[in-house]
Structure 1
Amino acid sequence: MEPEAGSGRVQKVRTIFKRFDGNGDGRLNREEMAALVIAVNPRVKFSEEQIGAILDEVFRTYSNYIQGEGGLSFEGLLRTYDDGAGDVDRDFDALRLQLDDSDAADAPVAMPESSSSIVDERERADPMPPLSRKQNVAPWAVSPNNGILYDNTWRLVEDLQIIIRRLETKYASKLKESSGGGGVTDASSEGAWSRDLGLGGGSISSDGDIARRNWEELGQDYVTFHRELVEIQSKANRSRTPDEVFDAHMGIGRTLFDHALYIEALSSFKKASDIKPTDARPHFRLGNTLYFLGRHSEARDCYISALDCAEISPNQLNYLLPHIHVNLGVALEADGMLLSASEHYKEAAIREPKHYRALKLLGGALYGVGEYRAAEKALMEAIFLKSDYADAHCDLGSTLHAMGDDERAIHEFQKAIDIKPDHMDALYNLGGLFRDIGRFQRAAEMYSKVLALQPNHWRAQLNRAVALLGAGEMEEARKAFKEALKLTNRIELYDAIRHLRCIGKKPSRSTSVTKKGEESPHTAGSSAGEGINEGVVIVEASHFRQASAKTTPRQWLTCALDIRAAAKSIRKEELEKVLRRLLYYLKPDTFQGAVKAINGKILSVLDGAVSGRVDVGMFFALIAPICSGSQDTRKRVAFDALVWRSHKEVGAISRADATLYLRWLRAIFLPVQGASAILEVQGTDDEASVSFPEFVEMFDDSDWGFGILSVLVKLESNDRARHGRKTCVVCSYPITGPWFKEVSLNFNLCSLCYSQGKVSQLSS
């Protein structure tokens, strides 16, 4: 039923509607609604993502007023204003519209301005008539869910905006002076509200950070600003009721946050959380602020507090819960805890099925722990919801490449680049894909584009050198290696340059290629091109005879190298938290790699039923052999973990538990030895007790136990051992670690080529 035509408020909405109904179809489509949002917020600089999020929220909330593809009806627009999503008078004035004389009498009368310490400056700064306090504020301030409620807060926010504009003008002038007077954008014109969606709660982003300003550089100007800010906060504290104090500090805190004044915003958010400790909103905002200050663990605690508060009044804060879960996931990711993060992304996607960013983050987290099928599904759903989501296309490309579907991966990377030509991750990862499939010239082109965007990207420079090497451009490769060496003095680059010189003298020898994410061009199992294994013969294991008892069997070395690769990477939600406490010294990216290896190699075996639960005691027993310490210590830790989970008497385990443990140990770490091998002990009782000495005897059995442990320990002690200028006859790379010498024909092999059974045709 159409509203009464005589209403002045309705007439204003109708006038606004007609102004933006460009095609005259009686509906406002997405383009027309976007124009309306931008026009009524002339001082707000929206990003495309922000506009898209606002329109998604409006069209979802008021779907009953949308028919087909036409857009929002007049009744729908009127309903948005009735619900408080906008201010009719403010928007009408901002658009400079006019009513007929008969309708103008119904327009609301402007409220007089109240006194303030800087009210005169406010009036001078804004010559427009003060018909509405809401005209020059962020979209969140007029949100029906978490906007400003009290008139006193509006006055304080207006005063705060004035001193912030003054500070930003000073900062912009300082930047202009320091840069020689050219090319610097005025800080005040950057768009104060660019980090808030205006409707959902301003989720932080892991896709990019905000450039932080060092306000203290302004000296006395910053001191003056801080003194005036304290005065405004003191006025907030003197508000009449606790609700008004809370509203004022939330408004002050969010305004400061939007202008990257994070440290200053902390005190207001903390004050608000003290006044209403069971309200999720101040905890959530405090978490966002701490995250942007790099205090990720404190931010995580605030998000957890926000979740706890939201559970007390879930109906009131349903709109905020998905954003809390997403931001908590981002904070967990910053600490390397991808499994825990993925659970919160899942929860956000369940609560808001069209939250494409939560689905993208979920896909990225699942990719990071090696669960590629689930990652592909989440990323495809994110792209379905937002087809021009470049980051999702890039992550899907990486996932497809990991799954071996390179043609689709190339398409996804290229789609991300088409959407965003300067998407550095897509360019870099596409270069890695081209390199892995042997298209070296195309790989070099991609890495060159990365370097054009970020000249100090040493990994791109190193991989470009390897790609040029694979393409046969020796001189260009040598130059690229030297450039990479200038950017980082890593020892691997010295080895790479020596390797390049070596194969330059001996062109018949094969080369190796760096895989994506690795720092050394010496890589196992590369499939980078047809020329990689030229001049190499794969020899059967029986042809490798030990020169002495000290020589490691080749088959064992293969497994030991695989185990070492997993151990260097040291990950289901609660277990991950335990591991993070134990491995607190690892950097987040290193810990992510660790959990990925553990998830793919150990947890996938323990969780064969895909229940999401694993046997903690068995897990620690399985991981004990690849941890540091002497052989006896590792065996003792494994035994103690089995005792902890056993129902036997203290100091003993059942023979069935010991047998199961050794079966799993071999299935996980010795797959080439037969993953389905079953330890059979004839004439024994499975319930019989096994003491530690008996366990050690079973563990050391070369046929049914884990006798490879001695090889692992030997690898650990010789990881960085160098052997003069000796190079491998197969890969021509300087030999580090175990050194294998053929005693009859007198040639050398590195541990990697030896473990793969490779010898040179020239030698054989």
Structure 2
Amino acid sequence: MSGTPPWQPGGPGSQAACAELRRRADAYGPSPLEYWCHLSLAAGFAEHGWFEEALPSLRACVALSAKLPTPHFRMGNALFALGRMAEAREGYEAALQACVDAIAAEASEAFANGDVDAGRELQKKVHPLLPKVHTNLGVAFETEGLLMSACEHYRESALLNPTHHKSLKLLGSALLGLGEHEAAREALGHAILLNPEYADAHCDLGLALADGGDYASAKSAFEEAVRLDEKHASAWYNLGNTCRMLQEHEAAVTAYEKCEEVDPSNWRAALNASTALLSLGRSKEAHVRLERAWQQAGQRVDLYHALQHLRAIKANKDMIGALMHQHHAQTLGSGSGASSNGASSSATKKDVSSSSSLKTKQENGADKAADLSEIELHEKDENGETATGVDTGEVAVAPFGAKNDRVSSSEHMHSALEVHSLQRRTRVGRCPVKRFRDEATESNLPEESRASTSAGRGRPVRKARIERIFRRVLQMEGSKQFSGAMRCMNERVLRTLDKGRRGMVDLSLCLAVLAPLARGTLQERLSVVFELLLWRRPELSAEASLTWEDTREYFVALRAVCSLPPGAELPTSEGDLVSAAMFGRYFTDDDIGIGGVLKALMKMERAQHVRHGLVCAVTHSEIVGPRYTCVSPGVRRFDLGAQAYAERRVPKEANKSPPSSFIFEESLQPPTPGEVMGLRLKKLFRGG
């Protein structure tokens, strides 16, 4: 007999059979018996993976008993299994409300009957389904990349059921994805105390320790994970990475081999094994592993960027360079070469990565693996130069100067590169600044703080609400990309604004701090910032002015987020109001605001994809972005990329007989072909 079996979805007669079963359940009419028949049917369908067939029965249960949490909960599970995350969240949220309402109804009935003590006890009661609902709702949020929202529900689940080790493990994994290493280690440690045999918790604890730089302790955690589960591919892979960080290359090779045995498709394990073998001097074996990685990777661009990352972290730099050269030659020969896009990524992926899973039966939640977001390693990139050159520069012995006042100083460019990195990692630079102003609405605030006119109250919201707002603002589809952006935003912005570590942030201040990094003209950014700060104080909206306290607090927060030292005090007295024109002057002031840094940043934005056809005299890499040419009298002309200029580094020969100062001119456009030819001829006649 060929074709799909009749007991599987899509089998001959399966749809008709399911419809007949539902018809028989409907025959009992609106009654408790009909409810239980449909609920049993849905459970049977779900047990065999027939989630689509289970939905009509679950909808019938909801229609019959909308106040009961179980049908809503199982509806969420079925929709989650079908990948319909938004609808699944609605089901879980309905179940959450039904749990609360059910307990409240019982308490109200007891009070109505005059039993006050019983009513008070019922008010303290927790619905038995509530911890499971919180856990699954957290998994749904995490799947969509909303880690802050997931943390809130995992935390609630753990509080309601302190012995539930999976909730604590999921909480630790989500906190780790947000860069909250200390809190993640604490949650994972509690999960391990409750269940010492939980291999996934040991693996994620190793990730938290490794991300904090404690590789020795991380190694112990990974070793415990593979002892508990010899087929834990992620733990073997991370153990290999940790051993490599500890310069234990032989142990790293062994761990990578174990990882490949468990997961033969893991090409990164083969690639990392080749670097460890190179460190041991076993070049022939290394090339065999590299060839295997090429075959498994499928996409040569992915492997090329992985090799660039290994070079960036100085993993056997010379030999990795040779491998990159060989790989480039082979891909060109095969007609599928991978080219660099000029500027290297501002946030390369860390080799240490993991996945955590929550596998439960239908009543305990959706059978879905909740992937832990990859941890990013924020290596300092070239910010405008490809990362394939060899650095031959040194710090200049003479100060840097500008040919005219239109040239950004090296100090401003250094700060602008830091802000540009934040801008790219959070993806804020892609958003029109007007989107930030559109989010300044009462609907984004919790109900208790809407329409409040209390002076000094601000617009406080929980971090999870900020996360949902930025999901709309950034308009990112990929959950991993969004969670990575929110991790950076949490580390650089939200922590700075949440001084009391209460999980609360002033929405107006948060939007105003990030608005200068959004896309738009200087005037557009300034206007949106001022409007957002006005929204912070509704009682002053008629004045169209800001208070001295709000203005000072804004510039302190802005400079802190931009990694700038504290600025000068505002030249106003307490109680004065700051007009829009006055605020604009403060904003563009170098000592109070970020005027020079913002101008340098906007130059980076305009020129970030501009290729000049010239190489940096320090890194010997192609210059992409702003170009700085030394025009000091008596000094041989040379060009620098933005990073080398910001770090005040020059070629070694320039320091041998330095001028009183190195004078630079700035170019945001590539030189004309005639200028390039003239420069090459001058170089040729000067002997190279």
Deviation at 1:387, TM superposition (A): 0.9
With over 3 angstroms needed to count, the CA separation of the structure-2 counterparts of 1:524 and 1:383, relative to structure 1, is same
Q: Which residue of structure 2 lines up, in the alignment, with residue 258 of structure 1?
A: 47
Q: Which residue of structure 2 lines up, in the alignment, with residue 653 of structure 1?
A: 546
Q: Which residue of structure 1 lines up, in the alignment, with residue 609 of structure 2?
A: 720
Q: Which residue of structure 2 lines up, in the alignment, with residue 396 of structure 1?
A: 205
| Aligned pairs (5 A) from 1:321-720 | 321-436=130-245, 443=252, 446-447=255-256, 449-457=258-266, 459-460=268-269, 476=286, 479=291, 483=295, 486-489=298-301, 493=305, 496=308, 503-504=321-322, 516=350, 523-524=379-380, 539=395, 543-546=399-402, 549=405, 551-570=407-426, 572-646=463-537, 647-648=539-540, 649-671=542-564, 674=565, 677-682=566-571, 684-707=572-595, 708-720=597-609
Residue 312 of structure 1 pairs with residue 146 of structure 2: no
SS at match of 1:614: strand
| Aligned pairs (5 A) from 1:224-263 | 224-239=13-28, 242-263=31-52
Q: Note if contact 1:417-1:423 (Cα within 8 Å) is conserved in structure 2.
A: yes
Deviation at 1:394, TM superposition (A): 1.2
Residue 278 of structure 1 pairs with residue 112 of structure 2: no
Q: Distance in 2 between matches of 1:469 and 1:516?
A: 20
Q: Note if contact 1:466-1:514 (Cα within 8 Å) is conserved in structure 2.
A: no
Deviation at 1:280, TM superposition (A): 0.5
SS at match of 2:301: coil
Q: Distance in 2 between matches of 1:546 and 1:715?
A: 17
With over 3 angstroms needed to count, the CA separation of the structure-2 counterparts of 1:494 and 1:367, relative to structure 1, is closer
Q: Note if contact 2:350-2:377 (Cα within 8 Å) is conserved in structure 1.
A: no
Deviation at 1:377, TM superposition (A): 0.7
Q: Note if contact 1:390-1:416 (Cα within 8 Å) is conserved in structure 2.
A: yes
With over 3 angstroms needed to count, the CA separation of the structure-2 counterparts of 1:480 and 1:260, relative to structure 1, is same
How many pairs align? Answer: 539
**Deviation per residue, 1:253-283 (Å, 9 max, x gap):** 1111111111111111111111111110011
The structure having more radius of gyration, on CA atoms, is 1
Deviation at 1:396, TM superposition (A): 0.8
Q: Note if contact 2:400-2:410 (Cα within 8 Å) is conserved in structure 1.
A: yes
Identity %: 30
Q: Distance in 2 between matches of 1:402 and 1:498?
A: 17
**Deviation per residue, 1:556-577 (Å, 9 max, x gap):** 3333233233233339122222
Using structure 2 for the length normalisation, give the TM-score: 0.69
Q: Distance in 1 between matches of 2:630 and 2:605?
A: 23
With over 3 angstroms needed to count, the CA separation of the structure-2 counterparts of 1:542 and 1:611, relative to structure 1, is farther
Q: Note if contact 1:447-1:461 (Cα within 8 Å) is conserved in structure 2.
A: yes
Q: Note if contact 1:465-1:480 (Cα within 8 Å) is conserved in structure 2.
A: no
SS at match of 1:388: coil
With over 3 angstroms needed to count, the CA separation of the structure-2 counterparts of 1:392 and 1:720, relative to structure 1, is farther
Q: Distance in 1 between matches of 2:137 and 2:576?
A: 48
SS at match of 1:361: helix
Deviation at 1:763, TM superposition (A): 7.3
With over 3 angstroms needed to count, the CA separation of the structure-2 counterparts of 1:455 and 1:502, relative to structure 1, is closer
Using structure 1 for the length normalisation, give the TM-score: 0.63
**Deviation per residue, 1:543-588 (Å, 9 max, x gap):** 4444665554333333323323323333912222222222333421
With over 3 angstroms needed to count, the CA separation of the structure-2 counterparts of 1:609 and 1:482, relative to structure 1, is same
Q: What RMSD over aligned residues (CA atoms) do the two structures have, in Å?
A: 4.0
Deviation at 1:489, TM superposition (A): 3.2
Deviation at 1:171, TM superposition (A): 4.8
Q: Note if contact 2:618-2:649 (Cα within 8 Å) is conserved in structure 1.
A: no
Matched letter for residue 301 of structure 2: N
With over 3 angstroms needed to count, the CA separation of the structure-2 counterparts of 1:542 and 1:497, relative to structure 1, is same
Q: Distance in 2 between matches of 1:628 and 1:723?
A: 24
Matched letter for residue 557 of structure 1: M
Matched letter for residue 407 of structure 1: A
SS at match of 1:239: coil
Q: Distance in 2 between matches of 1:613 and 1:565?
A: 25
Q: Distance in 2 between matches of 1:357 and 1:332?
A: 16
Deviation at 1:709, TM superposition (A): 0.9
**Deviation per residue, 1:119-145 (Å, 9 max, x gap):** xxxxxxxxxxxxxxxxxxxxxxxxxxx
SS at match of 2:615: strand
Q: Distance in 1 between matches of 2:489 and 2:5?
A: 50
With over 3 angstroms needed to count, the CA separation of the structure-2 counterparts of 1:701 and 1:380, relative to structure 1, is same
With over 3 angstroms needed to count, the CA separation of the structure-2 counterparts of 1:357 and 1:755, relative to structure 1, is farther
Deviation at 1:332, TM superposition (A): 0.5
Q: Distance in 2 between matches of 1:678 and 1:252?
A: 67
Q: Note if contact 1:466-1:521 (Cα within 8 Å) is conserved in structure 2.
A: no
Q: Distance in 2 between matches of 1:597 and 1:462?
A: 28
Q: Note if contact 1:720-1:737 (Cα within 8 Å) is conserved in structure 2.
A: yes
**Deviation per residue, 1:38-81 (Å, 9 max, x gap):** xxxxxxxxxxxxxxxxxxxxxxxxxxxxxxxxxxxxxxxxxxxx
**Deviation per residue, 1:430-458 (Å, 9 max, x gap):** 34444555556655655555455445545
Q: Which residue of structure 2 lines up, in the alignment, with residue 289 of structure 1?
A: 78
Deviation at 1:644, TM superposition (A): 0.8
Matched letter for residue 605 of structure 1: T
Q: Note if contact 2:268-2:293 (Cα within 8 Å) is conserved in structure 1.
A: no
Deviation at 1:761, TM superposition (A): 5.7
Q: Distance in 1 between matches of 2:473 and 2:494?
A: 17
Q: Distance in 2 between matches of 1:688 and 1:367?
A: 44
Matched letter for residue 555 of structure 1: E
Q: Note if contact 2:467-2:486 (Cα within 8 Å) is conserved in structure 1.
A: yes
Q: Distance in 2 between matches of 1:505 and 1:462?
A: 11
Higher relative contact order, structure no. (Cα contacts within 8 Å, ≥ 6 residues apart): 2
More deviation, 581-590/290-299: 581-590
Q: Note if contact 2:394-2:652 (Cα within 8 Å) is conserved in structure 1.
A: no
